[in-house]
Amino acid sequence: MNIGASSACFYPMETEKSFQLLCENGFRDIEIFFNSPSETNASFVKQLKAIKDRYGVNVTSVHPYESFGEGYNFFSNYYRRYVDACENYKRFFAAAAELGAKFAIMHGAKFKYDITKEEYAERFTRLNEIAMTFGCYMAHENVVDFSGARPEFMTLLKDYGKENFKMVLDVKQARKAGVLPEEFIRAVGENIIHVHLSDCTQNSQCAPPSEKGLFDFGKLFTELEGINYKGKYIIELYSDGFDGIEDIINSAKYLENIMQSLNIKR
Residue 45 lies in a domain: yes
Residue 34 lies in a domain: yes
Ramachandran area for residue 108 (φ above 0: left; ψ -120 to 50: alpha; else beta): left
Residue 247 lies in a domain: yes
The pLDDT of residue 182: 97
Tell me the DSSP string of 133-164: HTT-EEEEEP-TTBGGGSHHHHHHHHHHHGGG
Q: What does DSSP assign to residue 171? A: H
What mean pLDDT do residues 74-101 have? 98
Residue 194 lies in a domain: yes
Which residues lie below 8 Å from residue 23, measured CB to CB, with a gap of 6+?
30, 51, 52, 54, 55, 57
Cα distance between residue 153 and residue 250, in whole Å:
35
Which residues lie below 8 Å from residue 259, measured CB to CB, with a gap of 6+?
2, 221, 266
Residue 204 lies in a domain: yes
Residue 266 lies in a domain: no
| Residue 173 CB neighbour total at 10 angstroms | 25
Domain range for 217 is 4-261
Count of the separate structural domains present in the chain = 1
Residue 214 backbone dihedrals phi, psi, to 5 degrees: -105, -10
The pLDDT of residue 192: 98
16-54 pLDDT, tens digit each: 999 999 999 999 999 999 999 999 999 999 999 999 999
CATH of the domain at 30: 3.20.20.150
186-238 pLDDT, tens digit each: 999 999 999 999 999 999 999 999 999 999 999 999 999 999 999 999 999 99
In which band, very low, low, confident or very high, does the pLDDT at 8 lie, cut at 50, 70 and 90? very high
Residue 173 lies in a domain: yes
